[in-house]
Each structure stands twice: as structure tokens, then as C-alpha cells.
């Protein structure tokens, strides 16, 4: 049977074993590198396979990573919801595949999501700061008052800098 463009979406991996071995070595190396060692391993492994395959089905991801269907499904849903990857339906074979726009877009989306969370917290941090200032006479003698205040005073302007950075990337 002639191989088609979506053959690799089948459960059976069409890749030659030697090619697949090199691919796995790349994934394992990246996961262990300091660039990824502080990130969630399961998410990173799935994301790297999506990048290296360009398009991949959930079943093939399961075969390649050894993670359970439930775990992979959960991670894929999170990645789709966060905007880092795209779920694409292939009507002709009634399958869903996962793909991405570009490595740069994944990185930009990650930055954008972090800034969104920071903006969500900005009000909470300002509220905490006001409360600490209002109750200063009672709280400032307590151990840690200055530590907490320093972090808050540090982050409130930092959030504004992150906003400025997001504007410069035009990713807001």
C-alpha cells in the first residue's frame, strides 16, 4: 500500500527504527538539558515530539512517550487551551492531530500567558500592600514584614515592565 501524508497518524509508527532512535535521543537530551530541566517533564516531552513530528496523533504520542492516554489527553488539552498548540481535525480519516504554528509562537504564547497571570495578580498585590501600610504600626515589628514588603514593592513595578515588554512584542 502506498504511504500517504497521514500514515504517521496511525498507531503504528511508520518511522524507520534508526530514525526513531535518533529522534528519541534528541527528546531525551533536550529534557535533561538545563533549558528544560526546570520545566514539567511530561509537558516538555509531548511538546518536543509535536515539534519534531510537525503533526502527531494522541495514539502515536502515547506509543512514543509511554504515558497513559489520560495523562496525554490532559496535557494536550492544557496545551491547546493555553494557545501553544493547535488541534486539527482530519475529516478524511476521522482523526485529530496536534500541531503548532512555530517555535517562536509557542514561546510568545508562554510569555503572554505569564503576563496575563501577573496582571490578574496585580490588584491582589496592591491590595496586600495597602493593607500592610494601613496596619504598619501593628505589623512592622513582626518578623518578615520588610521581606514581604520588599517583594511586593519589587513586583508591582515589574508587572508594568512585563506589560511594556508584551507591548513591544505585540503579543497582548
Q: Which residues bind other proteins (CB under 8 A)?
A: 3, 8, 14-16, 18-20, 22-23, 25-26, 29-30, 33-35, 37-40, 43-44, 51-54, 82, 102-104, 106-108, 110-111, 113-114, 116-118, 120-121, 124-125, 128, 132, 135, 139, 142-145, 147-148, 151-152, 154-155, 158, 161, 164-165, 168-169
CB 150, CB 125: distance < 8 Å: no
Going by C-alpha positions, the residue among 60, 46, 58, 45 that lies closest to residue 15 is 60
Q: How far is the CB of 46 from other proteins (least distance, A)?
A: 10
Continuous segment of H or E residues that includes residue 90? strand 86-90
Residue number with CB closer to other proteins (89 or 140): 140
Residue number with CB closer to other proteins (92 or 102): 102
Residue 76, Cα to own-chain centre: how many angstroms?
10
- Cα separation, 172 vs 151, whole angstroms: 25
Helix (H/G/I), strand (E/B), else coil: 166: helix
Q: How far is the CB of 28 from other proteins (least distance, A)?
A: 11
Amino acid at each position: 500500500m502506498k504511504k500517504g501524508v497521514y500514515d504517521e497518524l496511525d498507531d503504528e509508527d511508520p518511522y524507520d527504527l534508526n530514525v526513531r532512535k535518533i529522534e528519541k535521543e534528541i527528546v531525551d537530551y533536550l529534557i535533561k538539558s538545563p533549558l528544560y530541566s526546570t520545566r514539567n517533564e511530561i509537558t516538555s516531552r509531548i511538546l518536543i515530539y509535536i515539534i519534531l513530528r510537525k503533526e502527531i496523533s494522541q495514539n502515536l504520542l502515547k506509543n512514543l512517550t509511554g504515558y497513559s492516554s489520560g495523562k496525554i489527553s490532559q496535557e494536550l488539552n492544557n496545551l491547546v487551551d493555553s494557545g501553544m498548540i493547535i488541534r486539527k481535525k482530519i475529516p478524511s480519516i476521522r482523526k485529530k492531530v496536534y500541531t503548532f504554528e512555530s517555535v517562536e509562537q509557542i514561546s510568545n504564547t508562554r510569555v503572554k500567558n505569564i503576563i496575563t497571570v501577573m496582571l490578574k495578580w496585580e490588584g491582589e498585590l496592591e491590595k496586600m500592600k495597602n493593607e500592610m501600610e494601613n496596619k504598619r504600626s501593628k505589623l512592622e515589628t513582626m518578623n518578615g514584614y520588610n521581606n514581604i514588603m520588599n517583594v511586593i514593592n519589587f513586583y508591582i513595578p515589574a508587572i508594568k515592565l512585563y506589560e511594556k515588554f508584551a507591548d513591544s512584542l505585540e503579543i497582548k
